[in-house]
Amino acid sequence: MKQQNENEESNATSVSVQSDRTFLATEPIGKLLAKLALPTIAAQLINMLYNIVDRIYIGHIPDTGAMALTGVGVCMPLIMIITAFAALVGNGGAPRATIFMGKNKKDDAEKILANCFTMQILLSVILTVVLLIWNRDFLLAFGASANTIEYAASYMNIYALGTIFVQLTLGMNAFITAQGFAKEGMLSVLIGAIANIILDPIFIFGLHMGVRGAALATVISQCCSCVWVISFLFGKRTTLRIRGKNMGLKAAYILPCLALGSAIFIMQGSESIISVCFNSSLLKYGGDIAVGAMTILTSVMQFAMLPLQGLGQGAQPIISYNYGAKNASRVRAAFKLLLKVSLLYSTILWLFIICFPKVFASIFTTDAALIAFTKDALRYYLAALFMFGIQIACQMTFNALGNAPASILVAIMRKFVLLLPLIFILPHIITADKTMAVYLAEPIADVLAVTFTSILFSFQFKKALREIS
């Protein structure tokens, strides 16, 4: 009877998946994009609250807020690396599990799920040990100064203890959304965000714990999300369940997942390298206030990027399905809509930032000197933001068409070939204000990257459409 129930559940899942995919070829593209993109955007914006809320509260700590904000900003490269490892396993394993579900091979899908769960735990233990032993060395290398290292180390010492919660929450939540449980996936993020918003002021101000309180609030919040995610995947409501018998690592299951997740790991992990380069260069030319401003600039950039990525992720199944179905006209129409909406969003946000930079800076700090400095830096750093809708639309479409090499190429071109050298070259060219020259590396790299991406995309997209016409 138990086996029969599992078979019926598996067949029902297969039918459900087929039904969900059919409407990708029939519903109006505009309605479809809104249906798929809005929950993704909401979940990403909620997830961003973990770091943003911490920074807002930390920036408002009396007397030491500006310096504490700078110290926590230096922690971001390490946090990016932690989340990149979560994506390596989760974003590599979840799609493969879904593929096996579509093939009606539920046992294989559950073995992938359990293997990824085990791998996340192993990675969490390794990362925790590394961070606890060497976090101070990493932070100094990432741009912490004698004035900010204590704040940064205090934050990371506590955050490191919650690495396992971060890994399991971010990595395993991908398996919830991959099964079509969009509301449950969003709820897991929402639980942590609400807990973080409530606990931050209690620990930071009420208990006078400062940056340690912010870190503790984040760890507890991630723990709450983790409990929800793991309870769901071990429970009866999920289609794929974590079973003890499947948790032994097997190369045939885990290695393909790591291979598939390596692309997004490279993309996310590279952000930490770029952050380190910015912080070290800014500390040299502008001091702690320039590094503190970079923390705010990064937060605003995250706010700009996440909705764009959500739009792209919403469009991906539409483009992918119709590309597989050889419906070239629908693929073309979906990309054009994605491009228009992305460009409209990036342009509107760019106008707001250019016209009201002080408003954005004031969200994160009350320090008058830091606000004044950040106000000008925002205009330099995000001068080409209006073009970024093109970059994201093209890059996400590369992914949707299965063209991973092109997607990775444009990411490497922007970050390593263009942005990284410009961070160090421009201060020697624009000597009047070397600090602002560092910030200018971002818009110059964006203009060049968008140009390169547009040219590459025009050829690759036409080629892809010819193949299915």
pLDDT in tens, 233-254: 998 888 788 998 898 889 989 9
Above pLDDT 90, what percent of the chain? 28
Q: What is the rounded average pLDDT of the residues 305-334? A: 78
Q: How confident is the model at residue 14 (pLDDT cuts 50, 70, 90)?
A: very low
92-104: b (≥16 Cβ within 10 Å) or e? bbbebbbebbeee
**Helical (H) or strand (E) element with 220:** helix 211-234
Token pair 């289609």 is found at 239
User: Is residue 9 scored above 90 in pLDDT?
Assistant: no
User: Is residue 408 scored above 50 in pLDDT?
Assistant: yes
Does residue 53 or residue 230 have the better pLDDT?
230
> Which residues have CB under 8 Å from 141's CB, separation 6+?
276
**Which one-letter amino acid corresponds to residue 335?**
F
Q: What is the pLDDT of residue 443?
A: 94
Sign of the alpha-carbon torsion through 316, 318, 321, 327: negative
- Of 68-72, 137-141, 168-172, give the range with the top mean pLDDT: 168-172
CA 448 – CA 456 distance, rounded (Å): 12
Above pLDDT 70, what percent of the chain? 87
User: Does the predicted TM-score (pTM) go above 0.85?
Assistant: no
Q: What is the pLDDT of residue 99?
A: 61
Q: What is the rounded average pLDDT of the residues 67-85? A: 81
User: Is residue 189 scored above 90 in pLDDT?
Assistant: no
CA 204 – CA 217 distance, rounded (Å): 9
Q: How confident is the model at residue 448 (pLDDT cuts 50, 70, 90)?
A: very high
Q: What is the rounded average pLDDT of the residues 100-128? A: 86
User: Is residue 266 scored above 70 in pLDDT?
Assistant: yes
Q: What is the pLDDT of residue 404?
A: 66
> Which residues have CB under 8 Å from 189's CB, separation 6+?
43, 46, 47, 173, 225
- Chain-centroid distance of CA 451 in Å reads 24
The two structure tokens encoding residue 201: 């002021």
- Of 106-120, 320-334, 396-410, give the range with the top mean pLDDT: 106-120
Q: What is the pLDDT of residue 19?
A: 37
The two structure tokens encoding residue 127: 């990362």
3-state secondary structure of 324: helix
CA 376 – CA 371 distance, rounded (Å): 9
Helices (H) and strands (E) in the chain, counts: 18, 0
